[in-house]
């Protein structure tokens, strides 16, 4: 029995340590140490077994483990226990602090990797420039920079919380999802250097591209169709909000502005940058608090997320995550603010990364036959939403 226990313990520890040392991904990072749970288990077991190496007293160990051993068994098993102790000593000698958790390396690598299975990203946008190139001189670049200057100066924690309270009442009226799609026909996103087409064109381009490559994920098709509907905030009926607080990249408020945010220099004029708490890395948050607890800069993403929640959509959680964070480029493109994410966020981020490629790279001059695809999307709207939504 004791031999079996020793063998199982040794195999189990060896398996865990081998996975750790070769860098296989773990399930979740420990928020304080940066190690995976497997690494912490190895550390704890090494600490508890180190006494065996320095003071091997098998009879006392047997009593502690509630195992009865005869003198002959003690003599027979002692060398094997000593082998385990020697092996533990070797593990102790390994500097675990130098081992980087493989899951973060893999995630950050994937965040910055433009390849998604089943999708080949084009090299240039409809204007012949690389996507999201804010340094490229073009007919729209000056306006895009001016947009972000205004955005970064005015998007404060107080501003965003006030907007959430104002629009969270959903008292602007009622209309269907499809009516809202058509509502956006007259608007062009001033923050987007890659697109100058009406929003309905972009919505259908994204949705149809995903539908082609992921035919069985109908929830994802509909998510692509509705992800920008929060831009109805631009309409006079919804207050005719200025574009700087409706569109553009989003980022957390109530903590430090990460340098990966586009046109970061303009945050120097934002009041929050001198706030004693908001200017700190974590600010008002705790590490791994979860993005659901983070206040984001106000815009169409947050508004549409509130509309979906307020109307009890039956779309799955990844759909809500995609809609709320699809403009959060500092995270899913640059790996910033990873320390605020929960385990659930990490899972949802996988779907967001898939979606983002279609959201970004499907922008083109090729028109979609709206009347041809309309019946399909109407059926999905009926499946996941009420006929009329509160806005």
Which residues carry a binding-site annotation for Fe cation?
202, 227-228, 300, 326, 359
Binding-site residue set: 132, 189-191, 202, 227-228, 231, 248-249, 300, 326-327, 359
Binding-site residue set for substrate: 132, 189-191, 231, 248-249, 326-327
Cβ neighbours for 335, distance < 8 A, ≥ 6 positions apart: 107, 108, 111, 112
């Amino acid at each position: 029995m004791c031999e079996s226990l020793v063998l199982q313990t040794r195999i189990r520890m060896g398996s865990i340590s081998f996975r750790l040392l070769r860098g296989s991904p773990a399930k979740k990072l420990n928020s304080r140490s940066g190690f995976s749970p497997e690494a912490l288990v190895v550390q704890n077991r090494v600490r508890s077994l180190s006494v065996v190496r320095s003071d091997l007293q098998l009879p006392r160990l047997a009593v502690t483990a509630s195992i009865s051993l005869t003198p002959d068994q003690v003599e027979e098993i002692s060398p094997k226990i000593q082998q385990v102790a020697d092996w533990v000593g070797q593990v102790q000698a390994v500097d675990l602090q130098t081992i980087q958790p493989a899951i973060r390396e893999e995630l950050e690598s994937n965040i910055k990797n433009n390849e998604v299975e089943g999708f080949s990203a084009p090299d240039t946008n409809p204007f012949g420039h690389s996507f999201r190139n804010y340094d490229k001189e073009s007919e729209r670049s000056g306006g895009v920079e001016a947009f972000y200057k205004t955005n970064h100066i005015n998007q404060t924690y107080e501003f965003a919380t006030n907007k959430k309270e104002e629009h969270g009442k959903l008292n602007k009226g009622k209309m269907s999802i499809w009516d809202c799609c058509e509502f956006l026909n007259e608007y062009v996103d001033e923050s987007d250097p890659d697109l100058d087409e009406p929003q309905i064109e972009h919505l259908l381009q994204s949705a149809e591209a995903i539908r082609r490559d992921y035919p069985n994920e109908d929830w994802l098709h509909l998510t692509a169709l509705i992800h920008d509907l929060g831009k109805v905030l631009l309409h006079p009926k919804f207050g005719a909000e200025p574009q700087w607080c409706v569109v553009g990249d989003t980022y957390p408020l109530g903590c430090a502005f990460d340098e990966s945010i586009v046109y970061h220099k303009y945050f120097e004029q934002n009041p929050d940058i001198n706030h004693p708490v908001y200017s700190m890395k974590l600010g008002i948050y705790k590490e791994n608090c979860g993005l659901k607890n983070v206040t984001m800069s106000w815009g169409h993403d947050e508004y549409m997320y509130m509309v979906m929640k307020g109307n009890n959509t039956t779309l799955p959680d990844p759909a809500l995550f995609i809609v709320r964070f699809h403009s959060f480029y500092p995270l899913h493109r640059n790996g910033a603010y990873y320390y605020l994410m929960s385990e659930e966020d990490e899972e949802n981020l996988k779907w967001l990364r898939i979606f983002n490629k279609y959201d970004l790279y499907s922008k083109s001059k090729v028109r979609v036959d709206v009347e041809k695809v309309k019946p399909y999307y109407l059926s999905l709207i009926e499946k996941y939403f009420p006929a009329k939504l509160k806005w």
